[in-house]
A and B are shown apart, each in its own frame.
Chain A
Amino acid sequence: MAKRPLNRYRPFLLLGLFIFIWKVVPKSVQLTLHKSFYEFQAPLWIGSSKIEDLHSYWSTRTNSENKLIEAGIQLSRNNHELRIQLDQVKLQQEELNSLRSLHNLSPINNYTYETARVCKRDLTSWWQEITIRKGDNHGILKNSPVIFAGGVVGKVKETYETTSTVLLITSRHFRMAARFENDPRPVTYIGSINSSFGNPKGIVRDAPSDVIVTQEKSQKLVSSGLGSIFPEGINIGTVHYLEPGTNGLFKAGKVLLDKRLLYLKEVSVLLPKNK
């Protein structure tokens, strides 16, 4: 009978004990445990991701031969089109580089990229992170910008041997320097609270009071390139309205982000050439 109350509180006591131990163990031990936690789990995530890829592969194989031939033809057309575009881009890039060298400006293309498959998504009100299947072994660096076809995905938060976690642009802990497409003045983009299945959104702050945005005349928000992480001109999202900020000095508003951020399968990590 006397032991009963103690039994009732046992889970709390254990939790308290665990927290106490966690607090008193040295920082290095905490870091090692934290890292190991991810490293041990990583094979599971990679495995399940690869199974998913395999599943996709086999489901594609079940398609009829005709369908595959049609897809192949379409793919070859797309490839051809893209090759032409790529050649044009190359020419323009060369011209741009020669013009920049004439003006003694550094070359604009300071990044290489590493493509990575997404193996895990944590998209809740608390966490807005993804895990990618590339890490230290592939030269991924902490704080590297991560992009996809729709624009900014986020930045690398932590790197492990074979995986990395990416802090998504939708996260409340994400912030970057941005600008409106046709305005060089920098503004601040911050992620906001995003629910699991809602349309991804963020917040823009410090917009000059003369920037006019309406539902009919929305403006694109792009990276400013002034900071140390993101190169210039990468799409962030669209701003449909701005209202006076809380200090009455500048405007603030909501940024609608690309919906594809919720279903990312592959991203590119930009790696600075000089590193």
Chain B
Amino acid sequence: MAKEKQKTSSSPVDLTERLKLRRKKLIFFYRFYPLLFFALVIGLFWRQVIQNNEYRLKERRQAMRKIVQPGPRGDILDRNGKLLVGNRPRFSAIVYLDRLRPDFRKEYFQRVRNIRRIKTDLHINQSLKDVNVILGQPIGTKVGKNSTTRLYAQSIRVKFKEDSVISVSTNSDQLEWNTRWDVIQSYLEKINKITGRNQTLAMKDLKVHFNHKLLLPLPLVEDLTLQEYARLIEEIPVESPIQIYTDTARYYPYSSAASHTLGYVSKEKEKKNENLKTFRIKRKEGKTGMEKQFDEILKGKSGGEVWLVDHRGFQYNQIEKEIPVQGRQINTSLDIDMQRVAEDAMGSKIGAVVALKVKTGEVLVLASKPNYDLNELTPFIPTRVFNRINDAGAWLNRATQGLYPPGSTFKMITAIAGLNEGKMLPETGINCQGKLWDMKCWNLSGHGIVNLQDSLSQSCNVYYYALGVNTKVEAISKTAKMFGLNDPTGIEIPNETGRMIVPDREWKESKKLGNWRQGDTANFSIGQGYIRVTPLQMACFTASFARKETLTKPTLLYQSKKEIQHPGTNLNLQVDHYQAIVEGMSQAVTSGTAKNSRIPGLTIAAKTGTAQVPVKGEKLTIAWYVGYAPIENPEIAVCVTIEGTDPNDRFNGGTTAAPIAKVVLEQYKERYMN
């Protein structure tokens, strides 16, 4: 008290000094506070104005969800406007979990009440047997395991110690999941009753959908038949949470026709990096063939919806909506009727058929067998179907991926090389006695004296052994490369093989196969040995030869122009030399090895061939046919390649491949030349 008295009784001077001192102390704060306030304003400005977009985005991410609906894919048509690939409606019975929330809630609370009732009967120190009786389980069943009353037993946690209950609690998470499952399953039962199916929903699927695709419809029954769809439409009330969801699946009206060329689709892979949390109805993307090649054109434009969601992720207000747009259609160069005729003519044979428009390079037929029914691959490929196709070796597109020695169809190239090198004249005769050195002709008794025309029409090997050795491998190889046999054709199909071989000395050495020998050249001259080409390449070669050019750019797109500019150059061959080769090919059809392809009223120049290739220790025979028609104004070039012909067949190319080519040429004549 004395001290206080002393303080209050101090002089005014002291007081002023003290005030000054205090002011001095406060002066720091007088300056510091505005600074702090300024920093606060700056901070506010920074957050509100500068970082506005960032926070707006965060808010959108937190409260909004985007549903992406892919646009339907475009159609693929043949050159005559026939639908090759379209979309068919695919109906599914679905529920939106959002609409089931009242049911979930009602059922959940009902169960909580029931569990409470059951829990009153469960006490500490009860035995497992007592618990089993209360829960209606078989005696000895552990709680929550193999329970017959899964409904409640899984939702109750009972801990035991030495077979006595020590604690009882509610497993509310399990209860929630069970409730959801049971509610949805009850709706599924209604569908089962109407459709006669017997489907159940897997808890795993429900959990995945609930946690990752909440805003998307939960499919209960997919790919409904038309009858099932109609029954559900009529018997399920409009206001039911069960809805009929319609999307599209790829539809192939011609099933397996041109299956390798058209290709198939599958669901696209997951995409990330979206601004909003996005629920994406997966679009279909091309996996093979034209579906893959032209995916960008066919895929269409996705639409979608943006929804505001509550704290649990359920939607409650739609903010944006954009309608998806169908992809554009593609007009192919294929003629589906010719394609089917070619495939029917092949029957169960393994191989390929290619038919091109000589002038434009448009592909009319691109068949590969064995093939597969494209409708079986949509909307997904069942393992059973995959294995079946795999076992049959049908995934391989033999027209663009199959590599075969061209056999005698290569003899035209040897002849062109020989003529260009000046190693012989068309009328020069060579005596075929059935073999040259130790290399045999297919006609062991010999052809006698043969000139160029005879050698082509009779497919004399001895003539080409001699010519090839005389011409040398370099010239033959150069000529083959000039016709593009060393490069892929660049057709608009993915995965065209690039592993074709046009051998020469360097190639053989680079592959460490030893030095090039005279026998290699002789073999090469008749299209045997190391050379490997695809049927499409041989069809392109035939078209190029028919146009007196070196290269043909094949295309699967319908060309409105009558002629297009192909890469390559004019064939540098004297007219009479060219004519001699054509004459030989023509004779092959009229009286030679290709006579099985003769068609009255149509002039055809063709060459057959038979090659052998070792496969798994056995010799696989390859039958070939290349040809074009009409000779005077070539329009169509055909190549047929058939694997594994009858070993007793003398003219494999002529008897196996030529009849197929004949059917294709006949069909062309009927459709385009009359």
- A positions within 8 Å CB-CB of B: 143, 172-177, 185-186, 188, 190, 206, 208-209, 224, 226-230, 244, 246-250
Ranked nearest first, the 6 interchain pairs of A and B with the lowest CB-CB distance are A226-B230, A177-B230, A227-B234, A248-B324, A227-B230, A177-B233
The answer to whether B71 touches A188 (Cβ under 8 A) is no
- Chain B residues with CB below 8 A from A175, complex form: 233-234, 238
- Chain A residues with CB below 8 A from B72, complex form: 209, 248-249
The minimal Cβ–Cβ distance linking B233 to chain A, given in whole angstroms, is: 5
User: In the complex the two chains form, what is the Cα distance from A190 to B237 in whole Å?
Assistant: 11
Most chain-A Cβ atoms within 10 A of its Cβ — which of B230, B231, B248, B324? Answer: B230
- Chain A residues with CB below 8 A from B139, complex form: none
Known contacts A247-B69, A248-B323, A249-B246: does B303 contact A224 (CB below 8 Å)?
no
The minimal Cβ–Cβ distance linking A27 to chain B, given in whole angstroms, is: 14
- Chain A residues with CB below 8 A from B238, complex form: 172-175, 190
**Is B325 on the interface with A (CB-CB < 8 A)?**
yes
The answer to whether A188 touches B233 (Cβ under 8 A) is yes
The answer to whether B231 touches A227 (Cβ under 8 A) is yes
The answer to whether B233 touches A227 (Cβ under 8 A) is yes
Known contacts A190-B238, A228-B234: does B229 contact A249 (CB below 8 Å)?
no
Residues of B232-251 contacting chain A, CB below 8 A: 233-235, 237-239, 244, 246-248
- Chain B residues with CB below 8 A from A174, complex form: 238
- Chain B residues with CB below 8 A from A185, complex form: 89, 226
The minimal Cβ–Cβ distance linking B240 to chain A, given in whole angstroms, is: 10
User: In the complex the two chains form, what is the Cα distance from A229 to B234 in whole Å?
Assistant: 7
User: In the complex the two chains form, what is the Cα distance from A185 to B226 in whole Å?
Assistant: 8
Closest Cβ neighbor of A176 among chain B residues: B234
- Chain B residues with CB below 8 A from A244, complex form: 323
Known contacts A190-B238, A226-B226: does B324 contact A247 (CB below 8 Å)?
yes
- Chain B residues with CB below 8 A from A188, complex form: 233, 244
Known contacts A190-B238, A208-B89: does B303 contact A248 (CB below 8 Å)?
yes
User: In the complex the two chains form, what is the Cα distance from A34 to B276 in whole Å?
Assistant: 49
The answer to whether B325 touches A177 (Cβ under 8 A) is no
User: In the complex the two chains form, what is the Cα distance from A185 to B321 in whole Å?
Assistant: 29
**Is B497 on the interface with A (CB-CB < 8 A)?**
no
- Chain B residues with CB below 8 A from A190, complex form: 238
**Is B6 on the interface with A (CB-CB < 8 A)?**
no
Residues of B65-92 contacting chain A, CB below 8 A: 69, 71-72, 87, 89
The answer to whether A206 touches B89 (Cβ under 8 A) is yes
What 0/1 readout, one digit per residue, does chain B (199-243) give for beta carbons within 8 Å of chain A?
000000000000000000000000000110111011101110000
- Chain A residues with CB below 8 A from B324, complex form: 247-249
**Is B326 on the interface with A (CB-CB < 8 A)?**
yes
Closest Cβ neighbor of A177 among chain B residues: B230
Number of A-B contacts (CB under 8 A): 78
User: In the complex the two chains form, what is the Cα distance from A230 to B239 in whole Å?
Assistant: 20
Most chain-B Cβ atoms within 10 A of its Cβ — which of A185, A186, A248? Answer: A248
The answer to whether A250 touches B227 (Cβ under 8 A) is no
- Chain B residues with CB below 8 A from A247, complex form: 69, 246-247, 303, 323-324
- Chain B residues with CB below 8 A from A250, complex form: 89, 246
The answer to whether A226 touches B323 (Cβ under 8 A) is no
The minimal Cβ–Cβ distance linking A15 to chain B, given in whole angstroms, is: 23
- Chain A residues with CB below 8 A from B233, complex form: 175-177, 186, 188, 227
Known contacts A226-B226, A226-B227: does B234 contact A209 (CB below 8 Å)?
no
Q: List 22 A-B contacts (CB under 8 A).
A: A173-B237, A173-B238, A175-B238, A177-B233, A186-B226, A186-B229, A206-B89, A209-B72, A227-B227, A227-B231, A227-B233, A227-B234, A228-B234, A229-B234, A247-B69, A247-B246, A247-B247, A247-B303, A247-B324, A248-B323, A249-B89, A249-B246
Choose from B235, B244, B246 the contact partner of A229 (Cβ within 8 Å). B235
User: In the complex the two chains form, what is the Cα distance from A209 to B248 in whole Å?
Assistant: 11
User: In the complex the two chains form, what is the Cα distance from A228 to B235 in whole Å?
Assistant: 8
- Chain A residues with CB below 8 A from B226, complex form: 185-186, 226
Closest Cβ neighbor of A210 among chain B residues: B86
Interface of chain B, main secondary structure: mixed
User: In the complex the two chains form, what is the Cα distance from A33 to B403 in whole Å?
Assistant: 82
Closest Cβ neighbor of B228 among chain A residues: A226
User: In the complex the two chains form, what is the Cα distance from A77 to B87 in whole Å?
Assistant: 53
User: In the complex the two chains form, what is the Cα distance from A190 to B69 in whole Å?
Assistant: 24
- Chain B residues with CB below 8 A from A143, complex form: 235
User: In the complex the two chains form, what is the Cα distance from A46 to B194 in whole Å?
Assistant: 35
The minimal Cβ–Cβ distance linking A171 to chain B, given in whole angstroms, is: 9
The minimal Cβ–Cβ distance linking A125 to chain B, given in whole angstroms, is: 16
The minimal Cβ–Cβ distance linking B73 to chain A, given in whole angstroms, is: 10
The minimal Cβ–Cβ distance linking B378 to chain A, given in whole angstroms, is: 15
Known contacts A186-B229, A244-B323: does B248 contact A249 (CB below 8 Å)?
yes
Closest Cβ neighbor of A247 among chain B residues: B69
Known contacts A208-B89, A247-B324, A248-B323: does B246 contact A177 (CB below 8 Å)?
no
User: In the complex the two chains form, what is the Cα distance from A209 to B246 in whole Å?
Assistant: 13
The minimal Cβ–Cβ distance linking A100 to chain B, given in whole angstroms, is: 19
The minimal Cβ–Cβ distance linking B324 to chain A, given in whole angstroms, is: 4
The minimal Cβ–Cβ distance linking B671 to chain A, given in whole angstroms, is: 25
- Chain A residues with CB below 8 A from B87, complex form: 209, 249
What 0/1 readout, one digit per residue, does chain B (558-599) give for beta carbons within 8 Å of chain A?
000000000000000000000000000000000000000000
The minimal Cβ–Cβ distance linking A230 to chain B, given in whole angstroms, is: 7
- Chain A residues with CB below 8 A from B325, complex form: 248
9 additional A-B residue pairs with CB within 8 Å, beyond A209-B326, A226-B229, A249-B248: A143-B235, A173-B239, A175-B233, A177-B230, A226-B230, A229-B235, A246-B321, A250-B89, A250-B246
User: In the complex the two chains form, what is the Cα distance from A143 to B231 in whole Å?
Assistant: 12
User: In the complex the two chains form, what is the Cα distance from A227 to B229 in whole Å?
Assistant: 8
Closest Cβ neighbor of B69 among chain A residues: A247
Most chain-B Cβ atoms within 10 A of its Cβ — which of A172, A186, A208, A227? Answer: A227
- Chain B residues with CB below 8 A from A248, complex form: 69, 71-72, 303, 323-326
User: In the complex the two chains form, what is the Cα distance from A248 to B248 in whole Å?
Assistant: 11
- Chain A residues with CB below 8 A from B244, complex form: 188
User: In the complex the two chains form, what is the Cα distance from A192 to B57 in whole Å?
Assistant: 40
- Chain B residues with CB below 8 A from A246, complex form: 321, 323
- Chain B residues with CB below 8 A from A228, complex form: 194, 230-231, 234-235
User: In the complex the two chains form, what is the Cα distance from A97 to B87 in whole Å?
Assistant: 37
User: In the complex the two chains form, what is the Cα distance from A249 to B229 in whole Å?
Assistant: 17
- Chain B residues with CB below 8 A from A249, complex form: 72, 87, 89, 246-248, 324, 326
The minimal Cβ–Cβ distance linking B231 to chain A, given in whole angstroms, is: 5
User: In the complex the two chains form, what is the Cα distance from A177 to B224 in whole Å?
Assistant: 14
The minimal Cβ–Cβ distance linking A129 to chain B, given in whole angstroms, is: 14
User: In the complex the two chains form, what is the Cα distance from A72 to B664 in whole Å?
Assistant: 73
- Chain A residues with CB below 8 A from B321, complex form: 246
Closest Cβ neighbor of A173 among chain B residues: B238
User: In the complex the two chains form, what is the Cα distance from A175 to B72 in whole Å?
Assistant: 26
The answer to whether A224 touches B230 (Cβ under 8 A) is yes
User: In the complex the two chains form, what is the Cα distance from A246 to B87 in whole Å?
Assistant: 17
The minimal Cβ–Cβ distance linking A201 to chain B, given in whole angstroms, is: 16
The minimal Cβ–Cβ distance linking B165 to chain A, given in whole angstroms, is: 37
Most chain-B Cβ atoms within 10 A of its Cβ — which of A143, A185, A226? Answer: A226
- Chain A residues with CB below 8 A from B246, complex form: 206, 247, 249-250
The minimal Cβ–Cβ distance linking B96 to chain A, given in whole angstroms, is: 14
The minimal Cβ–Cβ distance linking A167 to chain B, given in whole angstroms, is: 10
What 0/1 readout, one digit per residue, does chain B (9-49) give for beta carbons within 8 Å of chain A?
00000000000000000000000000000000000000000
- Chain A residues with CB below 8 A from B303, complex form: 247-248
- Chain B residues with CB below 8 A from A224, complex form: 230
Residues of B150-208 contacting chain A, CB below 8 A: 194
The minimal Cβ–Cβ distance linking B57 to chain A, given in whole angstroms, is: 28
The minimal Cβ–Cβ distance linking B68 to chain A, given in whole angstroms, is: 12
- Chain A residues with CB below 8 A from B89, complex form: 185, 206, 208, 249-250
The minimal Cβ–Cβ distance linking B216 to chain A, given in whole angstroms, is: 13
The minimal Cβ–Cβ distance linking A249 to chain B, given in whole angstroms, is: 5
The minimal Cβ–Cβ distance linking B326 to chain A, given in whole angstroms, is: 7
- Chain A residues with CB below 8 A from B71, complex form: 248
- Chain A residues with CB below 8 A from B69, complex form: 247-248
